[in-house]
Each structure stands twice: as C-alpha cells, then as structure tokens.
C-alpha cells in the first residue's frame, strides 16, 4: 500500500510553533485589555466629578493618584520581573488591574477616589513593565519585529474602551455600573489570556526564580539616552492628546465636531501605524523608521502651528500620529535587544521615564501657554521631534550594548590561518630555521609594495612571506 505524501498546504504545525502562536495570542489579549480597561475611565471623568461635587483643583489632585501609584510601581516591577520572570508578574498584575477599576465605583469622597486611582495606577504600571518585557523576550526569540503590533493592540483596546465609555455615558449608564461591568468582563477575559502565556526566548531569556538582573554601570549612559528618546516620543503623544482639541478650538477657532476629529484621526493614525510598524521596521530597520517618523512629525507639527487652518491642522495631527506610532515600541524592543542580561530593569527605566513625560508634558505645555500662548508653547513639539531624530541611531544593531565590537570575520579567518601556520612551524616539520615563537612565525609586511610589485598586506604578500620563511614548500 502506497502512502501519498501530504500536500504542502496541509502540513501540520510543529508543537513548538503551536505553543509560540498560542502564547503570542495570549500576549496580544493582555495588551488589548491593558488599553481597554483604563481608557473606559476617561469619558466618565466629568460625571464622576459632578457626582462627587469636586472642583477643578480637587479633580486635579485625584488624577495625580494614577501617577503616584504607577511611577514607584514601575521600577519595583522591573526588579520583580528580573527575579521571578515576566510571565509570573503578568499573571498576578492583570487580574489585580482588572479588579482595580471596580474600586472607582466604591469611591464616595476625594480621598477614596485618589486612593482608588493610586491602586489602579500601581497595577497598570506593574502590568506595563511586565508585558513589555515579555514582548521583548518573545521578539528576541523570534528574531523579527513584533513590538509595534503588540502596542497596536494596546491602541486598539484604548479606542475600544473609550468608545464603550462614550456610548455608556450617552446612554445614561451610571459610572459605577460601567466600572463594575468592565471589571467583570476584563477578569473573565484575563483567565484564558494569562493561561495562554508561555516562557519565551530562544536562549532562556525568561529569568529563573531566585535570579536577579542588573544593568552594568558602564551601560547606564546609553540607557539614559535611550530613555531620552522614549521621553521625546511620549511627550509629543501626551501633548497632542491633551492639547490637540484645545488648540483646534481656541487657536484655530474650529467647531466642536472638527476639534474632536483632530484627536480621533491622531489616535486612528497611531493605531494603524503600530499595526503596520513591524513589517515596515523589518524592511527598513528601526533606525530609519524612528528617524523618518520623527522628521515627518516635526514637519507636520510645524505646519499645524504655522498655518492655523482646520483643513491643514487635522491632517497634520494625523501625520504626527503616524510619524510617532512605532517609535516607542521600537525603543522598548531595542532596549530589550541591547540589554539581554537585564531586560526587566532596562524596560522599567525606559517605561518610567516615558510615563513621566506623558504625565508631565501636558502641564509643561500649559505652563508655557499661560505665559507665551498656546501656539508658541506647541513649538516644543518640532523641537522634541528633532531631538528624537538625532537619537534614532542608538537603535542601530551594530551599536548594541552587549560588549565590545566583534572583529571582522575576514580578519578573524586570516588571524586563525597565521596562527595555524605558526603552530605548524613550531613542531619542526618545516624548515630548521623556524622561528621559536608564534608571534614571529610569519612577519606581516608593512603596507606598500615589495620589489615584485605585490601590495604588502595582501594575501599574495602573506603567501610570499610564508615561502620566504620556509613554512611553505615551493
């Protein structure tokens, strides 16, 4: 009985690839849930403010709770990831984060709301570091860009959460009811997501329990420059997110619909840019993507400031979002590749710096706008884009922080050949006048030309030198 070979289209998937695909889908779900849960809170802020009878200053104090919780939690999360592994931290942080949104439904005073937001901020900060580290390990094991697509799912989740929150507000649903339903749905979705996660990395990048990973002191300067690159990108994103609609409404004098469309096209452009960012980075390289994107962002931001007309500002915001879409994911991925021994603390450093910029950027724009005007304050955006373009070279694969640069392969082969000839001469099989030490077995001629016109230092010259030393028979 003859067995016909299976068609190529029906070839079964290997168990290892199946596990990797399942784990990748689980991580996609984690990124999506991270964006969806927190984004559902933003459309309900006005209703929560009215229900608790808060003033603008009191609301500002409450909103600081997210920063007060997340900023200290991120460095601690980096140490936890280095000790226990990113998968373990995700499996704990995601259920806590999904449950923390329900605490907002129980807040009846300013203090309770601030504490609830602090817990939510600590949970999201821990989850952010752990999931980015896990994505970095998976990207390094797959040897292809994936970080931008993970962040694209985060952006898609944020758009979904904001849309659901807006629909709930328009339908008269109480904020507490929405937060409770969101927590229940996120907890149900988190169970299969965290169960699908697998240890990632080809060379054991998932740390062993009980191990710690720290950044070498000599590499901290480079990590600071990479953090500055992430700071510039996220500060631009935060400024457009919080001040884009205000600029369209107050400085450009656009209507409410057009002002809202400015942020909508910006968010959509960022989502689409991140979903396509991996393919673009694989084709052009991360340096070109970040540098060209920063230049597009700078030109678009300058055009929106110089020509304050709605028909130009709205497309310019879309160009800004498209330009910076893949930049921060590529920075995080580059940090993970360049610091393979300590990806958790390195990712935590970049994430903490970027998150601080995302939070501190809008108040900085507001301070400058209060003294110099909003249009002048937004000139900070093209300046930051220029700085990001100048720092994009830090993502080059040839300038990794793993150690000193390796010698040229051609030079290494030549050195091995000379060592082999020297060792042969030392055994006495060649001329009786063989040199006594390997370093003097073959004298490499100086640069120039010998009496026969052969360029010194070339392979032909080395061959002549070996014959002259009696190491090669004529």
How far apart are the C-alpha atoms of 219 and 204, rounded to whole Å? 22
Enter the tokens of residue 23. 């784990």
User: How confident is the model over 60-102, as pLDDT tens digits?
Assistant: 788 788 888 888 898 898 889 888 888 899 999 999 999 999 9
293-303 exposure pattern, b = at least 16 Cβ within 10 A, e = fewer: bbbbbbbbbbb
- Give the residues across from 449 on adjacent strands: 455
How far apart are the C-alpha atoms of 32 and 353, rounded to whole Å? 22
Measured N-to-C along each axis, helices 15-39 and 110-142 cross at an angle, to the nearest 10 degrees, of 160
Please choose, from the candidates 26, 154, 29, 134, the residue with its C-alpha nearest in 3D space to the C-alpha of residue 81. 134
Among 11-25, 280-294, 342-356, 408-422, name the most confident range: 280-294
Lowest average pLDDT, out of 72-86, 341-355, 424-438, goes to: 424-438
Alpha helix locations (H) across 1-85?
Answer: 15-39, 45-52, 56-84
Confidence of residue 203 (pLDDT cuts 50, 70, 90): very low
How far apart are the C-alpha atoms of 203 and 206, rounded to whole Å? 9
What single-letter DSSP state applies at residue 432?
A: T
Enter the tokens of residue 183. 């927590």
How far apart are the C-alpha atoms of 185 and 177, rounded to whole Å? 12
- Cβ-contact 314, 261 below 8 angstroms: yes
């Amino acid at each position: 009985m003859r067995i016909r070979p299976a068609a190529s289209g029906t070839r079964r998937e290997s168990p290892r690839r199946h596990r990797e695909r399942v784990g990748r889908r689980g991580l996609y779900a984690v990124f999506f849930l991270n964006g969806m849960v927190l984004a559902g809170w933003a459309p309900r802020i006005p209703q929560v403010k009215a229900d608790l009878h808060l003033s603008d200053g009191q609301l500002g104090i409450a909103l600081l709770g997210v920063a007060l919780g997340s900023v200290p939690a991120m460095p601690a999360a980096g140490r936890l990831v280095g000790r226990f592994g990113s998968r373990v931290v995700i499996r704990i942080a995601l259920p806590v984060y999904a449950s923390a949104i329900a605490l907002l439904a129980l807040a009846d005073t300013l203090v309770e709301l601030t504490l609830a937001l602090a817990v939510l901020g600590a949970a999201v900060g821990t989850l952010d570091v752990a999931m980015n580290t896990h994505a970095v390990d998976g990207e390094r094991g797959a040897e292809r860009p994936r970080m931008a697509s993970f962040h694209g799912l985060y952006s898609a989740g944020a758009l979904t959460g904001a849309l659901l929150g807006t629909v709930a507000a328009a339908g008269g649903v109480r904020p507490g009811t929405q937060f409770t339903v969101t927590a229940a749905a996120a907890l149900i979705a988190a169970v299969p997501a965290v169960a699908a996660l697998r240890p990632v990395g080809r060379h054991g990048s998932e740390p062993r329990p009980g191990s710690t990973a720290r950044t070498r002191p000599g590499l901290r300067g480079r990590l600071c420059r990479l953090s500055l690159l992430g700071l510039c990108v996220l500060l631009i994103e935060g400024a457009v997110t919080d001040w884009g609609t205000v600029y369209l409404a107050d400085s450009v004098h656009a209507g409410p619909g057009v002002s809202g469309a400015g942020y909508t096209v910006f968010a959509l452009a960022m989502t689409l840019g991140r979903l396509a960012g991996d393919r673009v980075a694989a084709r052009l390289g991360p340096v070109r993507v970040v540098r060209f994107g920063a230049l597009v962002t700078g030109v678009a931001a300058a055009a929106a400031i110089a020509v304050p007309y709605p028909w130009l500002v709205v497309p310019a915001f879309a160009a800004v979002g498209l330009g910076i879409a893949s930049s921060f994911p590529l920075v995080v991925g580059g940090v993970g590749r360049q610091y393979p021994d300590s990806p958790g603390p390195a990712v935590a450093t970049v994430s903490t710096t970027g998150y601080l910029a995302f939070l501190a950027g809008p108040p900085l724009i507001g301070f400058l706008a209060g003294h110099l005007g909003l249009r002048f304050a937004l000139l900070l955006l093209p300046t930051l884009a220029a700085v990001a373009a100048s720092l994009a070279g830090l993502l080059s694969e040839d300038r990794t922080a793993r150690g000193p640069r390796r010698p040229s392969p051609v030079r290494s082969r030549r050195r091995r050949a000379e060592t082999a000839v020297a060792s042969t001469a030392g055994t006495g099989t060649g001329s009786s006048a063989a040199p006594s030490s390997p370093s003097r077995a073959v004298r490499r001629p100086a640069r120039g030309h010998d009496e026969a016109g052969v360029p010194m230092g070339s392979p032909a010259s080395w061959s002549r030198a070996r014959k002259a030393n009696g190491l090669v028979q004529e």
